Structure 1
Amino acid sequence: MLEISGLEWVITIGVIIALLAVDLVLAWWRPHRVGFGEATAWSVFYIVIALLFGVVFAMVHGWDFGTQYFTGYIVEKSLSVDNLFVFVIIMTTFAVPEEHQHKVLTFGIVLALIMRAIFIVVGATLLNYFSFMFLVFGLLLLWTAVQLYRHKDEEPDIEDNLIVKSARRLFPVTEEYDGGKLFTRENGRRVATPLFIVLVAIGGIDLLFALDSIPAVFGVTQEAYIVFCANAFALLGLRALFFLVKGLLDRLVYLSTGLAIILAWIGVKLVLHWGHVDISPAIPEIPTMLSLVVILVILVVVTVASLIKTRNDPSVTAKPGSLRARKEHTDQGR
């Protein structure tokens, strides 16, 4: 059982808030187009911070917990790449000016952290009191894996999102951006700008990804502290990673397939853990180290295979995948 003191929690949360504050200040006070060099520097910085934290954490609490952290971090980092796909679609759909993309991403990261912190508390409580929740989480991940694989060549319909449609019904929206404002005045009345709808869309997507990613990382570890840190450090580098790899995302044609396999693997791991605890100790469990190796191998194979595929056929472009068919597809089938 991992024992984390109140001081460790305070220091960890303080460091994360400080890093978020730096991103927030840069986004709101110096809106600009983020170049490749800047994106690379920030990406390396956040990865190094995450790795250093993992090493220090493992040295203090043992490498068994350290392995759980690194596995959880890699799972969340790989899922965050799919999150980036959807962010690109949102930015493109609403034609977000480049100087405001930094601000939108930072908002998305902050909101994602808040949502995931809430889900972590709820998930840890449920697992602590109801062991059958391992089975529920496992089946949820298996369902998600199947749906993601079925719709791996599709894109989520942002405009069909319930939260986005509700926001459009509640607020009149202008056609043009007004700098970095969320609301402006048009013909004497207060109206929302497209930037407001973009933030609403980002929030809705964050909620959906939190529902998938939290059960996934609980399949690696049941320690709430490790789950929180793996999520936080994976998300902190998301803004810089967006500007670094958005040109490469189109080439990761097998990413959705790889993520579906990873989610299915973790789903099976959770179901076996439930069986081991609630049915019979004879039911085997999947070791965390084996999961780490399997996930790394899947990611390497997916990346290499994708790059080979797009090199041989440049017309092929990647899709982020979806958990359901686009509305126009279902309408055509009626």
Structure 2
Amino acid sequence: MIKTISIHNFKGLKNLNNVNLGKINLIGGKNNAGKSSFIEGIFLYMDRQSPDVFTKLLGWRGFSSVRVDPENLWAPFFHNYSLSNEISFEVNEYSGEKNKLSITYHDNHVPKVSIPINNNGILTSSMNGGIGFHALSLVHKTNEAVDFLAYPLLHNGLYYEIEKSDTTKLKHAYFVGSRMFSSDDNIERLGVLEKNDEQEKIVRFLRRFEPSLTRFQVIKEGQQDIIYADLGNKKKIPVNLLGDGFCRCLTIALLLAANTPDILLIDELGSGIHFSLLSTFWQFIIDAVSETDCQIITTTHSYEMIRGFCDAAKEKSFPDAEYIRLAKQNDEVSAHQFNADELKFALDSELEVR
């Protein structure tokens, strides 16, 4: 698990230093304070060995297609869109391990290996004439030793050069955006639970929201598989008809029960959930995480969500919950931290914590 993280020159986060993280973390702050950028930065750090990590992050922001050039594909991730800045993430883990990822732009990088490229319609090798690429260098160090070095490359297309890689140290992160719901992924996860006869793991959590829920079933309709909920009636109901909030709870429950990522990142966790259920919702999150090694980092701008988070942490006596309020002044974003006791005092004193 991540104990502290510092982020430099990533999007609007110029110098965000030594943010402490617990097992469950709620990130608040005003619009444009950097809440979504914070969790996107953590995902970039975690998913650094994936060649398409930048296009994934752009896609989650609604950019379905982007011109393959440095200004459109990479500049949006650099502070003030300046490719001359160096992005860095410094991550300390509870194990004592110290990590750093540095991302630097190069306008004329010559690969050390031959890469077949499309050069004005002619297939050739990058070694012919020492073709230079627009490139990023991604350098990851663990306890000062380089264990990953790769170059995303641009030259009439997107390429990838890996110079050093140690996949044994990779941890798995999963990102759930405010509008992301993949029924195909959920069907696969539900299948894992069904195979092991473990569906009750998620059903007992989701009964908090639908007390009559007995089980889920995948039914094929034409060419499409659909998850149905059995609520004890004669007719089963497609889960999509139970609302966005229930579907997000189902996705989170399936992720924790079937995949159990090392870190689960959720943008706008409370989206679609009625305010009267938020304390119950957070109790569900605390119970689910208590049975796994997963660390959750999520964002909100809702006062009710913050209050529900605080009430559930206090009721469950869960000590490892952090509320982090990001605040922007001039060009700098800073983090203000609250444990459950401090957050309760602030809320009861009617202080603004959003």
Question: Smaller-chain TM-score range?
Answer: under 0.3
Would you tell me which structure has more strand in proportion to its own residues? Answer: 2
Structure with greater Cα Rg: 2
TM-score by length of 2: 0.20
Would you tell me which structure has more helix in proportion to its own residues? Answer: 1
